């Protein structure tokens, strides 16, 4: 009797305090997943892209939405001091074409980072799933295989409403992609020694103010501390 009353009271209390959250039906994704990508939650420090060159490859599919995203990316690039002359834009038909075009651009050696910009909207068939998978892993591979930061600027949405929410106003994801491109370009230049080379230091692989490693002989010499 006491325990039954206690259980009912706890149930009422948990509902009132919000501690009791009814489980969503199995088919609905958890709220945290639905929020993923809905808001920009990443912050960027001061990025100086004065010497950074960025290539944007954009699709003609979903032209209006992609144009908004490209505008967002350009806005962020300019906020990071990337000059108009250092922003190159070209286009491909659809998202499936982005990885190969990104590879050509990365291998040209003319840019420090590439932003692949597109919008995929789910239709009635499995086409969306195949393209999303191919494009995301394709873009990742280009970055890894060419050492050129290649930004995944592709919205993968269930409907047009989701696209609009993520490509306009305060929540234009293109802006994050622009900042990410500059941050990764600077990171690459530092890691691969480009910055070091320019400043007269030895080009090296590694981060920060790395100094050349001493050889064993140098370590044994009397002048070595």
Residues 76, 40: contact at Cβ < 8 Å? no
* Complex with ligand DLZ: residue 177 or 179, whichever CB lies closer: 177
**Catalytic residue selected from 83, 90, 107, 127:** 127
- The interface region with ligand DLZ, picked from 14-22, 34-42, 46-54, 94-102 by CB under 6 A, is 94-102
Q: Is 18 left (phi over 0), alpha (psi -120 to 50) or beta?
A: left
Q: Which of 79, 121, 194, 210 binds ligand DLZ (CB under 6 A)?
A: 121
80 CB-contact burial (10 Å; exposed 0-12 / middle 13-18 / buried 19+): buried
Residue 102: count other Cβ atoms within 10 Å of its Cβ.
26
Q: Which of 47, 115, 120, 186 binds ligand DLZ (CB under 6 A)?
A: 120
* Complex with ligand DLZ: residue 45 or 123, whichever CB lies closer: 123
* Complex with ligand DLZ: residue 132 or 192, whichever CB lies closer: 132
SS3 167: helix
Residues 114, 125: contact at Cβ < 8 Å? no
**What φ, ψ does residue 200 adopt, rounded to 5°?**
85, 0
Residues 146, 103: contact at Cβ < 8 Å? yes
Does 44 bind ligand DLZ (CB under 6 A)? Our answer is no
Q: Which of 35, 127, 211, 219 binds ligand DLZ (CB under 6 A)?
A: 127
Shortest CA distance to 128 belongs to which of 62, 172, 201, 33?
Answer: 62
Binding mask 24-43 for ligand DLZ (x = CB under 6 A): --------------------
Assess whether 173 carries a catalytic annotation.
no
SS3 148: coil
Restricting to residues 50-69, which ones interact with ligand DLZ according to CB under 6 A? 59, 61-62
| Contact residues for ligand DLZ, defined by CB under 6 A | 59, 61-62, 93-97, 118-121, 123, 127, 131
Which residues are marked as active site?
A: 127
């Amino acid at each position: 009797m006491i325990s039954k009353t206690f259980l009912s009271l706890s149930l009422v209390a948990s509902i009132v305090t919000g501690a009791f959250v009814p489980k969503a039906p199995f088919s609905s994704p958890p709220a945290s997943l639905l929020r993923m990508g809905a808001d920009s939650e990443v912050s960027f420090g001061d990025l100086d892209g004065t010497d950074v060159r960025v290539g944007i490859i954009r699709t003609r599919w979903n032209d209006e939405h992609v144009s908004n995203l490209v505008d967002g990316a350009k806005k962020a690039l300019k906020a990071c001091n990337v000059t108009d002359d250092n922003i190159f834009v070209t286009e491909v038909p659809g998202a499936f074409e982005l990885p190969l075009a990104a590879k050509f651009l990365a291998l040209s050696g003319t840019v420090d980072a590439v932003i692949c910009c597109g919008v995929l909207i789910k239709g009635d068939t499995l086409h969306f799933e195949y393209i999303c998978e191919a494009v995301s892993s394709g873009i990742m591979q280009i970055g890894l295989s060419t050492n050129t930061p290649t930004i995944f600027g592709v919205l993968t949405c269930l409907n047009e409403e989701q696209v609009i929410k993520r490509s306009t106003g305060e929540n234009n994801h293109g802006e994050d992609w622009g900042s990410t491109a500059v941050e990764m370009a600077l990171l690459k230049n530092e890691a691969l020694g480009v910055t070091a080379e320019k400043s007269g230091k030895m080009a090296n692989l590694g981060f920060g103010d790395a100094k050349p490693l001493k050889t064993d002989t140098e370590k044994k010499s009397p002048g070595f501390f």
